[in-house]
Amino acid sequence: MRDQPRVTSRPRRVLAIEDDLDSVRSLAYLLRSFGHQVEYAINGYVVLDIAARFRPEVVLLDLGLPGMDGYEVCRRLKSHPQHRATRVIVITAYAQEQHRARASAAGCDLYLLKPVAPQTLFDALESG
């Protein structure tokens, strides 16, 4: 028996940043099925422009981005007055403590390891 799809009672504006196009499109589809409004980016360079226009409440951020990595994206977002309260959730394959510490120092609010179960993602978005 399949679980019923869950829909949030608190729709949020979510910006997903992931360099794999298929992955970020799938993530956006899942988030929209939860009832969230979603934008996405495949590199760190466009994030600040998208964030200024979209004003995300939550950012889902891969650390291993080409060019500007996720740590720098987080630092730049959190340094902007408009985004200081934006919740940044890292979703990464980097399991080492050094990466977790760097993400925390950059301003990350939650650190999740890939692959993230849909229920875990749903709960993370509901809790913040």
Amino acid at position 86, single letter: T
Q: What strand order describes the sheet that includes 110-113?
A: 37-41, 13-17, 58-61, 87-92, 110-113
Distance CA 24, CA 41 (A): 8
Task: Report yes or no on 37 lying in a domain.
Answer: yes
Q: What pLDDT, on a 0 to 100 scale, did the predictor assign at position 6?
A: 85
Q: How many domains does the chain have?
A: 1
Q: How confident is the model at residue 67 (pLDDT cuts 50, 70, 90)?
A: confident
Q: Which range marks the domain in which residue 32 is found?
A: 13-114
Task: Report yes or no on 62 lying in a domain.
Answer: yes
Residue 25 sits in a domain whose CATH number is: 3.40.50.2300
Collect all residues with Cβ–Cβ distance below 8 Å to 13 and sequence separation of at least 6: 36, 37, 38, 39, 54, 55, 56, 57, 58
Q: Reply yes or no on whether the pLDDT at 1 is more than 50.
A: no
Task: Report yes or no on 23 lying in a domain.
Answer: yes
Task: Report yes or no on 123 lying in a domain.
Answer: no
pLDDT, tens only, 10-54: 999 999 999 999 999 999 999 999 999 999 999 998 999 999 999
Task: Report yes or no on 5 lying in a domain.
Answer: no
Helix (H) or strand (E) segment spanning residue 97: helix 97-106
Q: What is the mean pLDDT of the chain?
A: 94
Alpha carbon separation from 10 to 35, 64, 71, 87, 95 (Å, rounded)? 8, 29, 28, 15, 30
